[in-house]
A and B are shown apart, each in its own frame.
Chain A
Protein backbone atom coordinates (compact mmCIF):
# COMPACT_ATOMS: atom_id res chain seq x y z
CA UNK A 1 0.00 0.00 0.00
CA UNK A 2 2.79 2.38 0.88
CA UNK A 3 4.12 2.71 -2.65
CA UNK A 4 0.68 3.75 -3.89
CA UNK A 5 -0.86 7.16 -3.74
CA UNK A 6 -4.23 6.24 -5.21
CA UNK A 7 -6.07 2.98 -4.68
CA UNK A 8 -9.46 2.56 -6.32
CA UNK A 9 -11.33 -0.68 -5.65
CA UNK A 10 -14.47 -1.79 -7.51
CA UNK A 11 -15.87 1.72 -7.64
CA UNK A 12 -19.28 2.31 -9.19
CA UNK A 13 -21.27 5.47 -9.54
CA UNK A 14 -24.76 5.43 -10.98
CA UNK A 15 -26.69 8.55 -11.86
CA UNK A 16 -30.41 8.53 -11.73
CA UNK A 17 -31.52 10.89 -14.41
CA UNK A 18 -35.01 12.17 -13.99
CA UNK A 19 -36.80 12.16 -17.29
CA UNK A 20 -39.03 15.09 -16.45
CA UNK A 21 -37.41 18.54 -16.46
CA UNK A 22 -35.12 18.90 -13.50
CA UNK A 23 -36.17 22.42 -12.74
CA UNK A 24 -39.85 21.72 -12.62
CA UNK A 25 -41.80 24.33 -10.73
CA UNK A 26 -43.68 23.40 -7.62
CA UNK A 27 -46.92 24.29 -9.40
CA UNK A 28 -46.15 22.01 -12.34
CA UNK A 29 -45.23 19.25 -9.96
CA UNK A 30 -48.55 19.47 -8.17
CA UNK A 31 -50.63 19.91 -11.34
CA UNK A 32 -49.04 16.97 -13.12
CA UNK A 33 -49.10 14.97 -9.88
CA UNK A 34 -45.38 14.46 -10.14
CA UNK A 35 -44.47 15.97 -6.84
CA UNK A 36 -42.93 12.66 -5.91
CA UNK A 37 -40.61 11.08 -8.39
CA UNK A 38 -41.60 7.53 -9.15
CA UNK A 39 -38.61 5.43 -10.00
CA UNK A 40 -40.41 3.14 -12.42
CA UNK A 41 -41.84 6.00 -14.43
CA UNK A 42 -39.44 8.90 -14.23
CA UNK A 43 -35.94 7.61 -13.97
CA UNK A 44 -33.21 6.55 -16.30
CA UNK A 45 -30.10 5.09 -14.81
CA UNK A 46 -26.67 5.72 -16.18
CA UNK A 47 -23.77 3.72 -14.85
CA UNK A 48 -21.22 6.46 -15.30
CA UNK A 49 -18.47 4.47 -13.60
CA UNK A 50 -18.94 0.73 -13.34
CA UNK A 51 -16.76 -1.54 -11.22
CA UNK A 52 -13.52 0.32 -11.84
CA UNK A 53 -10.34 -0.68 -10.02
CA UNK A 54 -6.83 0.62 -10.41
CA UNK A 55 -3.85 1.86 -8.44
CA UNK A 56 -1.39 4.65 -9.08
CA UNK A 57 2.15 4.47 -7.76
CA UNK A 58 3.69 7.45 -5.97
CA UNK A 59 5.71 9.61 -8.28
CA UNK A 60 3.94 8.58 -11.43
CA UNK A 61 1.39 10.03 -13.80
CA UNK A 62 -1.78 8.26 -14.86
CA UNK A 63 -3.58 9.27 -18.04
CA UNK A 64 -7.27 8.59 -18.60
CA UNK A 65 -8.63 8.42 -22.15
CA UNK A 66 -12.05 7.63 -23.49
CA UNK A 67 -14.78 9.06 -25.59
CA UNK A 68 -17.30 11.67 -24.42
CA UNK A 69 -19.56 10.20 -21.80
CA UNK A 70 -17.23 7.33 -20.97
CA UNK A 71 -17.03 8.36 -17.30
CA UNK A 72 -13.71 10.22 -17.18
CA UNK A 73 -14.98 13.32 -15.41
CA UNK A 74 -17.11 11.29 -13.01
CA UNK A 75 -14.05 9.25 -12.11
CA UNK A 76 -12.07 12.45 -11.49
CA UNK A 77 -14.81 13.80 -9.21
CA UNK A 78 -14.81 10.50 -7.33
CA UNK A 79 -11.05 10.83 -6.87
CA UNK A 80 -11.49 14.41 -5.66
CA UNK A 81 -14.18 13.36 -3.18
CA UNK A 82 -16.84 15.55 -4.79
CA UNK A 83 -18.92 12.45 -5.48
CA UNK A 84 -19.27 9.57 -3.07
CA UNK A 85 -19.11 6.17 -4.79
CA UNK A 86 -22.28 4.05 -4.67
CA UNK A 87 -20.09 1.04 -4.01
CA UNK A 88 -16.37 0.33 -3.75
CA UNK A 89 -13.74 2.56 -2.23
CA UNK A 90 -11.42 5.40 -3.19
CA UNK A 91 -8.26 6.00 -1.21
CA UNK A 92 -5.82 8.83 -1.83
CA UNK A 93 -2.64 9.79 -0.04
CA UNK A 94 -2.28 13.32 1.30
CA UNK A 95 -3.55 16.54 -0.21
CA UNK A 96 -5.60 16.25 -3.37
CA UNK A 97 -5.87 19.32 -5.59
CA UNK A 98 -8.62 19.02 -8.18
CA UNK A 99 -8.20 21.22 -11.24
CA UNK A 100 -11.36 20.15 -12.98
CA UNK A 101 -11.89 23.31 -14.95
CA UNK A 102 -9.61 26.23 -15.66
CA UNK A 103 -10.27 29.50 -13.95
CA UNK A 104 -12.66 28.36 -11.23
CA UNK A 105 -13.55 31.42 -9.18
CA UNK A 106 -11.96 33.82 -11.65
CA UNK A 107 -13.73 37.12 -12.00
CA UNK A 108 -13.24 39.25 -15.14
CA UNK A 109 -13.22 42.54 -13.22
CA UNK A 110 -10.53 41.41 -10.81
CA UNK A 111 -6.83 41.70 -11.53
CA UNK A 112 -4.56 38.77 -12.26
CA UNK A 113 -3.16 39.02 -8.75
CA UNK A 114 -6.61 38.96 -7.11
CA UNK A 115 -7.64 36.00 -9.23
CA UNK A 116 -4.49 34.05 -8.35
CA UNK A 117 -5.38 34.62 -4.73
CA UNK A 118 -8.95 33.40 -5.18
CA UNK A 119 -7.80 30.33 -7.10
CA UNK A 120 -5.35 29.41 -4.36
CA UNK A 121 -7.96 29.90 -1.64
CA UNK A 122 -10.39 27.59 -3.45
CA UNK A 123 -7.64 24.97 -3.60
CA UNK A 124 -7.32 25.29 0.18
CA UNK A 125 -4.21 27.47 0.57
CA UNK A 126 -3.88 30.23 3.14
CA UNK A 127 -3.13 33.83 2.06
CA UNK A 128 0.43 33.42 3.38
CA UNK A 129 1.05 30.31 1.32
CA UNK A 130 -0.30 32.08 -1.75
CA UNK A 131 1.85 35.15 -1.13
CA UNK A 132 4.90 32.91 -0.87
CA UNK A 133 4.11 31.29 -4.20
CA UNK A 134 3.01 34.45 -5.98
CA UNK A 135 6.37 35.10 -7.66
CA UNK A 136 6.69 31.54 -8.82
CA UNK A 137 3.17 31.54 -10.23
CA UNK A 138 3.63 34.83 -12.04
CA UNK A 139 6.99 33.78 -13.48
CA UNK A 140 5.63 30.49 -14.59
CA UNK A 141 2.67 32.12 -16.31
CA UNK A 142 4.98 34.77 -17.89
CA UNK A 143 2.48 37.45 -16.98
CA UNK A 144 4.43 39.77 -14.71
CA UNK A 145 3.60 43.00 -16.52
CA UNK A 146 -0.12 42.11 -16.62
CA UNK A 147 -0.41 41.19 -12.96
CA UNK A 148 -2.52 44.19 -11.98
CA UNK A 149 -4.58 44.36 -15.14
CA UNK A 150 -8.21 43.20 -14.93
CA UNK A 151 -8.65 39.67 -16.20
CA UNK A 152 -11.06 40.70 -18.96
CA UNK A 153 -8.12 42.38 -20.77
CA UNK A 154 -6.26 39.06 -20.96
CA UNK A 155 -6.08 37.05 -24.16
CA UNK A 156 -7.49 33.54 -23.88
CA UNK A 157 -3.96 32.13 -23.91
CA UNK A 158 -2.93 34.40 -21.02
CA UNK A 159 -6.05 33.43 -19.11
CA UNK A 160 -5.30 29.73 -19.44
CA UNK A 161 -1.64 30.14 -18.54
CA UNK A 162 -2.58 32.01 -15.38
CA UNK A 163 -5.15 29.42 -14.33
CA UNK A 164 -2.82 26.54 -15.06
CA UNK A 165 0.14 28.09 -13.26
CA UNK A 166 -1.77 28.33 -9.99
CA UNK A 167 -2.49 24.61 -10.06
CA UNK A 168 1.00 23.41 -10.88
CA UNK A 169 2.70 25.64 -8.33
CA UNK A 170 0.56 24.72 -5.32
CA UNK A 171 2.37 21.42 -4.92
CA UNK A 172 -0.28 18.96 -3.73
CA UNK A 173 0.41 15.26 -3.21
CA UNK A 174 -2.10 14.34 -5.87
CA UNK A 175 -2.93 16.68 -8.74
CA UNK A 176 -6.05 16.00 -10.79
CA UNK A 177 -6.16 17.66 -14.21
CA UNK A 178 -9.30 17.35 -16.30
CA UNK A 179 -9.04 18.52 -19.91
CA UNK A 180 -7.04 21.54 -18.96
CA UNK A 181 -3.94 20.92 -21.02
CA UNK A 182 -4.53 23.02 -24.11
CA UNK A 183 -2.68 25.90 -22.53
CA UNK A 184 -0.68 28.02 -24.84
CA UNK A 185 2.21 27.56 -27.17
CA UNK A 186 4.86 24.91 -27.52
CA UNK A 187 7.35 26.57 -25.18
CA UNK A 188 4.78 26.86 -22.42
CA UNK A 189 3.81 23.23 -22.90
CA UNK A 190 7.44 22.24 -22.55
CA UNK A 191 7.62 24.13 -19.27
CA UNK A 192 4.53 22.32 -18.07
CA UNK A 193 6.06 18.96 -18.89
CA UNK A 194 9.23 19.88 -17.00
CA UNK A 195 7.14 21.00 -14.04
CA UNK A 196 5.32 17.70 -13.99
CA UNK A 197 8.53 15.73 -14.25
CA UNK A 198 9.88 17.52 -11.17
CA UNK A 199 6.55 16.82 -9.51
CA UNK A 200 6.92 13.14 -10.06
CA UNK A 201 10.55 13.17 -9.02
CA UNK A 202 9.42 14.40 -5.61
CA UNK A 203 7.02 11.49 -5.18
CA UNK A 204 3.91 13.41 -6.19
CA UNK A 205 1.21 11.94 -8.34
CA UNK A 206 -0.70 13.30 -11.32
CA UNK A 207 -3.90 12.09 -12.89
CA UNK A 208 -4.59 13.53 -16.29
CA UNK A 209 -7.74 13.35 -18.40
CA UNK A 210 -7.42 14.28 -22.03
CA UNK A 211 -8.79 13.63 -25.49
CA UNK A 212 -5.30 14.25 -26.74
CA UNK A 213 -3.76 10.79 -26.85
CA UNK A 214 -0.41 12.20 -27.85
CA UNK A 215 -0.24 14.27 -24.66
CA UNK A 216 -1.17 11.24 -22.58
CA UNK A 217 1.51 9.03 -24.09
CA UNK A 218 4.09 11.82 -23.81
CA UNK A 219 3.31 12.78 -20.18
CA UNK A 220 2.06 9.67 -18.48
CA UNK A 221 3.62 6.38 -17.45
CA UNK A 222 0.43 4.38 -17.35
CA UNK A 223 -3.01 4.97 -18.74
CA UNK A 224 -6.60 3.86 -18.36
CA UNK A 225 -9.01 3.59 -21.28
CA UNK A 226 -12.60 3.99 -20.14
CA UNK A 227 -15.53 2.92 -22.24
CA UNK A 228 -19.10 3.27 -21.00
CA UNK A 229 -17.90 3.33 -17.42
CA UNK A 230 -15.78 0.19 -17.71
CA UNK A 231 -12.03 -0.10 -17.86
CA UNK A 232 -11.44 -1.32 -21.39
CA UNK A 233 -7.66 -1.24 -21.27
CA UNK A 234 -5.03 -0.42 -18.66
CA UNK A 235 -1.26 -0.51 -18.75
CA UNK A 236 1.66 1.39 -20.27
CA UNK A 237 0.42 4.70 -21.66
CA UNK A 238 1.59 4.11 -25.23
CA UNK A 239 -0.22 0.80 -25.60
CA UNK A 240 -3.46 2.01 -24.02
CA UNK A 241 -3.54 5.13 -26.19
CA UNK A 242 -2.89 2.97 -29.26
CA UNK A 243 -5.83 0.75 -28.31
CA UNK A 244 -8.00 3.82 -27.86
CA UNK A 245 -7.01 5.21 -31.26
CA UNK A 246 -7.69 1.89 -32.93
CA UNK A 247 -11.22 2.01 -31.55
CA UNK A 248 -12.06 5.59 -32.34
CA UNK A 249 -10.62 5.51 -35.84
CA UNK A 250 -13.05 2.68 -36.53
CA UNK A 251 -10.46 0.16 -37.67
CA UNK A 252 -11.91 -2.13 -35.08
CA UNK A 253 -15.60 -1.58 -34.55
CA UNK A 254 -16.24 -1.26 -30.83
CA UNK A 255 -19.00 -3.22 -29.22
CA UNK A 256 -22.18 -1.15 -28.99
CA UNK A 257 -21.92 0.83 -25.83
CA UNK A 258 -24.73 0.08 -23.48
CA UNK A 259 -24.68 3.61 -22.17
CA UNK A 260 -28.19 4.01 -21.00
CA UNK A 261 -30.29 1.27 -19.55
CA UNK A 262 -33.84 2.13 -18.65
CA UNK A 263 -34.99 0.59 -15.43
CA UNK A 264 -38.42 -0.24 -16.75
Chain B
Protein backbone atom coordinates (compact mmCIF):
# COMPACT_ATOMS: atom_id res chain seq x y z
CA UNK B 1 0.00 0.00 0.00
CA UNK B 2 2.79 2.40 0.88
CA UNK B 3 4.56 1.63 -2.39
CA UNK B 4 1.37 2.24 -4.33
CA UNK B 5 0.86 5.58 -2.59
CA UNK B 6 4.46 6.58 -3.20
CA UNK B 7 4.21 5.74 -6.87
CA UNK B 8 1.08 7.85 -7.20
CA UNK B 9 2.33 10.76 -5.09
CA UNK B 10 2.21 13.10 -8.10
CA UNK B 11 -1.37 12.13 -8.76
CA UNK B 12 -2.16 13.01 -5.15
CA UNK B 13 -0.42 16.36 -5.57
CA UNK B 14 -2.36 17.09 -8.76
CA UNK B 15 -5.72 16.04 -7.31
CA UNK B 16 -5.14 18.21 -4.23
CA UNK B 17 -4.17 21.14 -6.42
CA UNK B 18 -7.29 20.64 -8.53
CA UNK B 19 -9.45 20.40 -5.43
CA UNK B 20 -8.14 23.74 -4.22
CA UNK B 21 -8.05 25.57 -7.54
CA UNK B 22 -11.33 24.28 -8.97
CA UNK B 23 -13.25 25.08 -5.82
CA UNK B 24 -12.75 28.76 -6.46
CA UNK B 25 -12.50 28.80 -10.25
CA UNK B 26 -15.21 31.03 -11.64
CA UNK B 27 -15.76 32.83 -8.35
CA UNK B 28 -14.93 36.54 -8.32
CA UNK B 29 -13.06 36.55 -5.02
CA UNK B 30 -11.20 33.29 -5.63
CA UNK B 31 -8.82 32.21 -2.92
CA UNK B 32 -9.95 35.16 -0.77
CA UNK B 33 -12.82 32.87 0.31
CA UNK B 34 -10.26 30.89 2.30
CA UNK B 35 -10.00 33.96 4.51
CA UNK B 36 -13.53 35.29 4.21
CA UNK B 37 -15.32 32.19 5.49
CA UNK B 38 -13.53 31.96 8.83
CA UNK B 39 -13.45 35.75 9.12
CA UNK B 40 -17.23 36.09 8.80
CA UNK B 41 -17.76 33.16 11.17
CA UNK B 42 -15.38 34.77 13.64
CA UNK B 43 -17.17 38.12 13.40
CA UNK B 44 -20.60 36.63 14.09
CA UNK B 45 -19.47 34.37 16.93
CA UNK B 46 -17.52 37.20 18.52
CA UNK B 47 -20.60 39.39 18.36
CA UNK B 48 -22.85 36.70 19.86
CA UNK B 49 -20.59 35.20 22.49
CA UNK B 50 -18.36 38.06 23.49
CA UNK B 51 -20.79 40.96 23.31
CA UNK B 52 -24.30 39.46 23.64
CA UNK B 53 -23.56 36.53 25.96
CA UNK B 54 -20.42 38.00 27.55
CA UNK B 55 -18.12 34.97 27.66
CA UNK B 56 -15.45 36.49 29.87
CA UNK B 57 -12.36 36.07 27.72
CA UNK B 58 -10.26 39.06 26.73
CA UNK B 59 -9.43 39.15 23.01
CA UNK B 60 -12.23 36.67 22.37
CA UNK B 61 -11.84 36.90 18.56
CA UNK B 62 -8.28 35.57 18.78
CA UNK B 63 -9.28 32.83 21.22
CA UNK B 64 -12.11 31.74 18.95
CA UNK B 65 -10.01 31.75 15.82
CA UNK B 66 -7.26 29.63 17.42
CA UNK B 67 -9.74 26.77 17.84
CA UNK B 68 -11.98 27.52 14.87
CA UNK B 69 -9.34 27.27 12.13
CA UNK B 70 -8.24 23.70 13.02
CA UNK B 71 -11.90 22.78 13.36
CA UNK B 72 -12.62 24.01 9.82
CA UNK B 73 -9.86 21.69 8.57
CA UNK B 74 -11.35 18.80 10.55
CA UNK B 75 -14.96 19.39 9.53
CA UNK B 76 -14.15 20.24 5.91
CA UNK B 77 -12.06 17.12 5.43
CA UNK B 78 -14.57 14.83 7.17
CA UNK B 79 -17.59 16.09 5.25
CA UNK B 80 -15.82 16.04 1.87
CA UNK B 81 -13.99 12.79 2.62
CA UNK B 82 -17.05 10.82 3.73
CA UNK B 83 -18.23 10.65 0.13
CA UNK B 84 -14.82 10.50 -1.51
CA UNK B 85 -14.87 6.80 -2.43
CA UNK B 86 -18.41 7.03 -3.75
CA UNK B 87 -17.59 10.22 -5.64
CA UNK B 88 -14.47 8.62 -7.04
CA UNK B 89 -16.24 5.51 -8.27
CA UNK B 90 -14.89 6.08 -11.79
CA UNK B 91 -11.37 5.76 -10.43
CA UNK B 92 -12.17 2.86 -8.12
CA UNK B 93 -13.56 0.66 -10.88
CA UNK B 94 -11.25 1.70 -13.71
CA UNK B 95 -7.79 2.35 -12.35
CA UNK B 96 -5.33 0.60 -10.11
CA UNK B 97 -4.17 3.13 -7.53
CA UNK B 98 -5.18 2.58 -3.90
CA UNK B 99 -8.48 4.26 -2.94
CA UNK B 100 -6.66 5.57 0.15
CA UNK B 101 -5.45 8.26 -2.21
CA UNK B 102 -9.04 9.45 -2.68
CA UNK B 103 -9.27 9.90 1.11
CA UNK B 104 -5.97 11.74 1.30
CA UNK B 105 -7.14 14.37 -1.21
CA UNK B 106 -9.70 16.13 1.03
CA UNK B 107 -7.45 15.72 4.10
CA UNK B 108 -4.53 17.38 2.30
CA UNK B 109 -6.47 20.08 0.48
CA UNK B 110 -8.19 21.13 3.69
CA UNK B 111 -4.81 21.07 5.44
CA UNK B 112 -3.49 23.46 2.78
CA UNK B 113 -6.49 25.72 3.34
CA UNK B 114 -5.74 25.60 7.05
CA UNK B 115 -2.13 26.61 6.47
CA UNK B 116 -3.23 29.39 4.14
CA UNK B 117 -5.49 30.75 6.88
CA UNK B 118 -2.65 30.92 9.44
CA UNK B 119 -1.43 34.34 8.17
CA UNK B 120 -4.98 35.55 8.73
CA UNK B 121 -4.71 34.39 12.32
CA UNK B 122 -1.42 36.23 12.84
CA UNK B 123 -2.98 39.37 11.36
CA UNK B 124 -5.92 39.25 13.78
CA UNK B 125 -3.64 38.35 16.71
CA UNK B 126 -1.42 41.34 15.90
CA UNK B 127 -4.45 43.65 15.79
CA UNK B 128 -5.52 42.50 19.26
CA UNK B 129 -1.95 42.52 20.55
CA UNK B 130 -1.87 38.78 21.30
CA UNK B 131 1.71 37.51 21.31
CA UNK B 132 2.55 34.13 19.79
CA UNK B 133 5.89 32.87 21.02
CA UNK B 134 8.16 29.85 20.70
CA UNK B 135 5.52 27.24 21.64
CA UNK B 136 4.53 27.61 17.97
CA UNK B 137 7.35 25.10 17.33
CA UNK B 138 4.99 22.36 18.57
CA UNK B 139 2.39 23.39 16.01
CA UNK B 140 3.52 20.81 13.39
CA UNK B 141 3.16 18.05 15.99
CA UNK B 142 -0.48 18.95 16.56
CA UNK B 143 -1.03 19.12 12.80
CA UNK B 144 0.49 15.67 12.40
CA UNK B 145 -1.79 14.22 15.07
CA UNK B 146 -4.80 15.89 13.49
CA UNK B 147 -3.83 14.52 10.08
CA UNK B 148 -3.78 10.96 11.46
CA UNK B 149 -7.02 11.54 13.32
CA UNK B 150 -8.89 12.76 10.24
CA UNK B 151 -7.47 10.00 8.04
CA UNK B 152 -8.35 7.34 10.61
CA UNK B 153 -11.94 8.53 10.89
CA UNK B 154 -12.27 8.81 7.12
CA UNK B 155 -11.04 5.29 6.43
CA UNK B 156 -13.97 3.96 8.45
CA UNK B 157 -16.50 6.58 7.44
CA UNK B 158 -15.88 6.56 3.68
CA UNK B 159 -15.86 2.76 3.64
CA UNK B 160 -19.19 2.50 5.46
CA UNK B 161 -20.63 5.26 3.27
CA UNK B 162 -20.14 3.03 0.23
CA UNK B 163 -22.73 0.67 1.70
CA UNK B 164 -24.92 3.11 3.64
CA UNK B 165 -25.15 6.34 1.69
CA UNK B 166 -27.12 8.20 4.30
CA UNK B 167 -24.10 8.28 6.58
CA UNK B 168 -23.21 11.53 4.84
CA UNK B 169 -26.39 13.13 6.23
CA UNK B 170 -25.59 11.79 9.67
CA UNK B 171 -22.04 13.11 9.33
CA UNK B 172 -23.23 16.68 8.81
CA UNK B 173 -25.39 16.51 11.92
CA UNK B 174 -22.74 14.94 14.10
CA UNK B 175 -20.15 17.48 12.93
CA UNK B 176 -22.31 20.40 14.00
CA UNK B 177 -22.95 18.75 17.38
CA UNK B 178 -19.25 18.08 17.90
CA UNK B 179 -18.49 21.68 17.09
CA UNK B 180 -20.58 22.91 20.02
CA UNK B 181 -19.28 20.17 22.30
CA UNK B 182 -15.62 21.01 21.62
CA UNK B 183 -14.25 23.89 23.69
CA UNK B 184 -13.96 26.18 20.66
CA UNK B 185 -16.47 28.95 21.34
CA UNK B 186 -16.02 28.66 25.12
CA UNK B 187 -12.98 27.76 27.24
CA UNK B 188 -12.74 24.39 28.99
CA UNK B 189 -12.89 26.21 32.34
CA UNK B 190 -16.53 27.15 31.75
CA UNK B 191 -17.47 23.46 31.59
CA UNK B 192 -18.52 22.28 35.09
CA UNK B 193 -15.87 19.93 36.48
CA UNK B 194 -18.32 16.99 36.56
CA UNK B 195 -18.85 17.27 32.78
CA UNK B 196 -15.23 17.77 31.79
CA UNK B 197 -14.33 14.12 31.17
CA UNK B 198 -17.18 13.94 28.63
CA UNK B 199 -15.69 16.83 26.69
CA UNK B 200 -12.82 14.56 25.75
CA UNK B 201 -15.07 11.98 24.16
CA UNK B 202 -14.97 14.45 21.27
CA UNK B 203 -11.86 13.48 19.28
CA UNK B 204 -11.08 17.14 18.50
CA UNK B 205 -11.33 18.43 22.08
CA UNK B 206 -7.77 17.71 23.23
CA UNK B 207 -6.31 19.06 19.99
CA UNK B 208 -8.43 22.21 20.19
CA UNK B 209 -7.09 22.94 23.67
CA UNK B 210 -3.56 22.29 22.40
CA UNK B 211 -3.96 24.77 19.56
CA UNK B 212 -5.37 27.36 21.98
CA UNK B 213 -2.38 26.86 24.28
CA UNK B 214 0.03 27.53 21.45
CA UNK B 215 -1.79 30.26 19.57
CA UNK B 216 -3.64 32.09 22.32
CA UNK B 217 -2.11 31.42 25.74
CA UNK B 218 1.50 31.37 24.47
CA UNK B 219 2.34 28.17 26.36
CA UNK B 220 3.21 24.56 25.59
CA UNK B 221 0.25 22.20 25.26
CA UNK B 222 -0.14 19.64 28.05
CA UNK B 223 1.88 16.51 27.23
CA UNK B 224 -0.87 14.35 28.74
CA UNK B 225 -3.58 15.82 26.51
CA UNK B 226 -1.35 15.72 23.44
CA UNK B 227 -0.42 12.11 24.16
CA UNK B 228 -4.09 11.29 24.63
CA UNK B 229 -4.95 12.89 21.28
CA UNK B 230 -2.16 10.93 19.63
CA UNK B 231 -3.36 7.67 21.17
CA UNK B 232 -6.94 8.31 20.01
CA UNK B 233 -5.68 9.10 16.50
CA UNK B 234 -3.65 5.88 16.39
CA UNK B 235 -6.55 3.75 17.60
CA UNK B 236 -8.89 5.30 15.02
CA UNK B 237 -6.27 4.73 12.31
CA UNK B 238 -5.94 1.08 13.31
CA UNK B 239 -9.71 0.58 13.27
CA UNK B 240 -10.00 2.49 10.00
CA UNK B 241 -7.28 0.45 8.37
CA UNK B 242 -9.00 -2.77 9.42
CA UNK B 243 -12.39 -1.68 8.11
CA UNK B 244 -10.94 -0.29 4.90
CA UNK B 245 -8.88 -3.39 4.09
CA UNK B 246 -11.78 -5.68 4.95
CA UNK B 247 -14.09 -4.05 2.41
CA UNK B 248 -11.84 -2.46 -0.20
CA UNK B 249 -12.26 -5.29 -2.71
CA UNK B 250 -15.98 -4.63 -2.67
CA UNK B 251 -15.63 -0.93 -3.54
CA UNK B 252 -15.50 -1.58 -7.27
CA UNK B 253 -18.78 -3.50 -7.04
CA UNK B 254 -20.73 -1.11 -4.86
CA UNK B 255 -19.35 2.37 -5.33
* B-binding residues in A (CB < 8 A): 15, 22-27, 29, 77, 80-84, 96, 98, 100-101, 104-105, 107, 109-110, 117-118, 121-124, 126-127
A83 to B94, Cβ gap below 8 A?
no
Contacts of A82 in B (CB 8 A): 92-96, 252
Contacting residues of chain B (81-139) with chain A, CB-CB under 8 angstroms: 90-97
Contacts of B196 in A (CB 8 A): none
- Which chain B residue has the least Cβ–Cβ distance from A99? B94
B253 to A15, Cβ gap below 8 A?
yes
* CB of B165 within 8 Å of the partner chain: yes
Contacts A77-B93, A84-B249 aside, 15 further interface pairs with beta carbons under 8 A come to: A23-B165, A24-B164, A26-B164, A26-B170, A27-B166, A82-B252, A83-B249, A83-B252, A100-B95, A107-B22, A109-B22, A117-B14, A121-B14, A122-B91, A124-B8
- Which chain A residue has the least Cβ–Cβ distance from B164? A26
- Which chain A residue has the least Cβ–Cβ distance from B9? A126
By the criterion of a CB under 8 Å from any partner CB, how many residues of chain B are at the interface? 25
- Which chain A residue has the least Cβ–Cβ distance from B252? A82
CB < 8 Å neighbour of A100 from B14, B94, B97, B253: B94
Contacts of A24 in B (CB 8 A): 164
Residue among B8, B10, B25 having the largest count of chain A Cβ atoms under 10 Å: B10
- Which chain A residue has the least Cβ–Cβ distance from B254? A22
CB < 8 Å neighbour of A96 from B10, B25, B96: B96
Contacts of A25 in B (CB 8 A): 164-166
Contacting residues of chain B (1-59) with chain A, CB-CB under 8 angstroms: 7-8, 10-11, 14, 18, 22, 25
A124 to B97, Cβ gap below 8 A?
yes
CB < 8 Å neighbour of A98 from B14, B96, B165: B96
Contacts A/B (CB < 8 Å), 30 sampled: A15-B253, A23-B165, A25-B166, A26-B170, A27-B166, A80-B96, A81-B96, A82-B92, A83-B249, A83-B252, A84-B249, A96-B96, A98-B94, A98-B96, A100-B93, A100-B95, A101-B94, A104-B90, A104-B94, A104-B95, A105-B90, A109-B22, A118-B14, A118-B18, A121-B8, A121-B10, A122-B11, A122-B95, A122-B97, A124-B96
Alpha-carbon distance A117/B14, docked complex (angstroms):
9
- Which chain A residue has the least Cβ–Cβ distance from B165? A23
Contacts of A122 in B (CB 8 A): 11, 91, 95, 97
Alpha-carbon distance A175/B239, docked complex (angstroms):
37
Alpha-carbon distance A80/B91, docked complex (angstroms):
13
- Nearest chain A CB to B73 CB, angstrom units: 25
* CB of B143 within 8 Å of the partner chain: no
CB < 8 Å neighbour of A105 from B22, B91, B96: B91
Alpha-carbon distance A122/B12, docked complex (angstroms):
10
Alpha-carbon distance A185/B166, docked complex (angstroms):
46
Alpha-carbon distance A24/B164, docked complex (angstroms):
7
